[in-house]
Amino acid sequence: MAELNPCDDLGEAVIRLMPNRVKSCPFDVDLSEARNLAEKFFNKLKNFGAVATRYDKRADNCPASVQLASIRIRLRSCESVA
């Protein structure tokens, strides 16, 4: 059985591998940062109960609640600390 090498031409690595790994692969730093931002955003979006549980009964209300939650997240990040 051949060993699976993570550095083969299966695609580009987005997540940095463990530092103690014997064979390391190059990864795209910019793509990794963009993925990290997207993950953080979706984790913040999950904190809104109506969005996380898909509480809205109508299909057109669900994107609206996601937009409202996104606006609140964005406004919180723009608040001054002073």
At which residue do the structure tokens 């695609």 appear?
A: 11
Q: Yes or no: say if 65 and 50 are a contact pair by the CB < 8 Å rule.
A: yes
- 54 and 81 part of one domain: yes
Range of the domain at 75: 48-82
Question: Which one is predicted more confidently, 44 or 23?
Answer: 44
- 38 and 54 part of one domain: no
Task: Locate 28 and state its tokens.
Answer: 């795209």
pTM: 0.60
Neighbour-count burial for 25-50, b at 16+ CB within 10 Å, e otherwise = eeeeeeeeeeeeeeeeeeeeeeebee
Query: Which region among 21-25, 38-42, 47-51, 61-65 has the lowest average model confidence (pLDDT)?
Result: 21-25
pLDDT at 53 over 80: no
Supply the pLDDT for residue 82: 56
Average pLDDT over residues 61-65: 81
Domain contains 2: no
